[in-house]
Structures are given as structure tokens and as C-alpha cells.
Amino acid sequence: MISIFVKYSVKEEFCDEFLSEVVKHSQRCIKNETGCLLFHVCRSSENSNDFLLYEEYKDKVSVEQHRASKHYKNYSEYVKHWVLEKKVELAERIN
């Protein structure tokens, strides 16, 4: 199983729009991707402009399919101007 951790720092004036879009995106991923097992959207309690995503995928192929999907590409393009910084880390789940 592959876990993905994503941290977005978002321009303050776009936080509400970003939150709405990222939640819709998470729902599309769960609904349309059989390899997407879990997708949580969180907002930092320390900085309200930071959003943390936790995703779980069945395997590396599922991650590649996610990144190649039309809805992922559309979402990424749509929100990119609202984002100051994006950090992504993949990890293999131990337990």
C-alpha cells in the first residue's frame, strides 16, 4: 500500500475556494479510482492557509493511474494559481 502526504500553502484570499475544490477532488478520486482507498483533506490548526492531504492507494500502479487521470490534471490546473507552495511525499505503509 502506498500513502501520499501532500501539503499545500494557499494564498489567503483563495482558501475558501481551494477548500471547496480539494474536497470535490477527493470525492472524485474515491468514486472514480478503484485503487484510491482513502483520501482525507485536513486544514492545519496552526496555519489556516495550509492544507494537508492524506491519501492511500492500493499500489504504485494506482498512484500512476491517479496522476494520469483527467480529473487530477483538471484539478491541478484549476487550483495552481491559488497555491504558494506544494510538497508531496510518498511512503510505503508499514502497518
Which mean pLDDT values do the consecutive 10-residue runs of the chain (95 residues) have?
98 98 97 97 98 97 96 97 98 90
pLDDT for 80 equals: 97
pLDDT for 37 equals: 97
Which amino acid appears at position 31 of this protein? K
pLDDT for 78 equals: 97
User: What is the distance, to the nearest Å, from the Cα of residue 26 to the centroid of all Cα atoms in its chain?
Assistant: 7
pLDDT for 95 equals: 87
3-state secondary structure (DSSP) of residue 48: coil
* Predicted model pTM: 0.93
pLDDT for 49 equals: 98
pLDDT for 93 equals: 86
Regarding beta strands 50-57 and 83-92, do their DSSP bridges make them parallel or antiparallel, or are they unpaired? Answer: unpaired
50 and 8 in contact (C-beta within 8 Å)? yes
